[in-house]
Structure 1
């Protein structure tokens, strides 16, 4: 029975800001996967219109994440701090700010690697724009309740950090992450369950399939044709569907299930996607991350090719 006298939680509003290149897009994508309503690069002048827009009753308490930074039209840190104070003073919302920081040298490396220009240094070195933006944003950094330094974070590390900080949206379901990875590139941190998919036939040694990934239909068909595939993967799905309610009953907030193969591009990717679909059909809401999907295929990481690999349904 619900206690009618219990206080009703205020809807959450998270302003996501920080230095360009520090990971705002990654953060907003994770929050969206967690069920937040996400709006990026919103002009500050339109914030009130967003908050006052009518919504269906079922969406009234859905948390909102708004990305605002130096690229947003009319962006001024002092005005943003002032507006945050006004929103808090008005009450009715749990207003917080997340500031993403990063060391200058790492930001320069990221801009160089992606070949993007810094928004505050279109015709100058990225270092100039980084220094200018850091000075401009300092007051906002001091004001933020949440400051995350992403200097030494991989994309997956940042995703895990955001899930741990903001994954509780008022539901008793644990925040569920499905991860694929390559054993040759290191075990993932914070994995609760790890399943080794290296027993399945490896598409890497098929010249036509090697450049592809487990997201491709021909690679998936190759993996699924392994005689051991269906019986084992279906048992993994059944195990997880049995375990997750027990984790929830024990109050576990976060569950990361990792599927590994040698390089992290074929077998683990396909199985992670399949298992995620099965869990969604079972009423869960997993987020899927492919840690090594964009890594270049390397024969040296895959060990020795099989001496005789029979074609599915055929002879060796």
Structure 2
């Protein structure tokens, strides 16, 4: 009887670990095994008896055959720690991306976490880590739109970057609109202009939403008619404002991707400051934002008009 109790406990613990592994591609973390009731000695005994195998440093596979791709995904996340997320290409493949192979599994961890090293692993600290980016189920990973944008940012070439933005949309894993919304969070990156162009093409063509289109949308929403291409004079000569309502001290600048280029950043900032110092509110609407989040931006336009004194007929 004295020996039956430990045996029962060990047997129940192994069953718990097995059930957990069945949901994780045959893999569990060492911490999960210990939390399930197994001792370190029992785990070592399973490995020494060649019933289980180690996967990197923090995981166990409950058989000695080839570890499944899903199992390797889980093991990669376990290597990164509690807040680790499979990211970029590896996240896309884990989410169902077909016909694409990854050389190593990228895992993102917050700053302050010490990355581990292992063959086939790419664990990195990133300021872009956010718990809000986590997919709702399955192996801990970033959501498809976020993963696609990051995969494009970190791709080896522009061609690969365009492919990684296009394939998830083609295969129905996400939409161009959701990609665009994720891209709006990218403030600085050398590949940002390229990504904007690709996503705009996916949304429905890179045709610029000009001032006439903007004015037409304002009329549809019941806003007053704006003045387009108004001339102002600054220290360095004349410049044009895209859209303005002088009566309500509101200016809207519609930014194409060229506004993020180094040659225009400083002149744009100086122009905006001049207008603001003259007493007007200046709203900047990126072209991509107008394509993928128009309601949000036009709600801001309405707030700007109301702050300037406009009241709708209704």
TM-score, reference length from structure 2: 0.23
The structure whose RCO (Cα within 8 Å, separation 6+) is larger is 1
TM-score, reference length from structure 1: 0.23
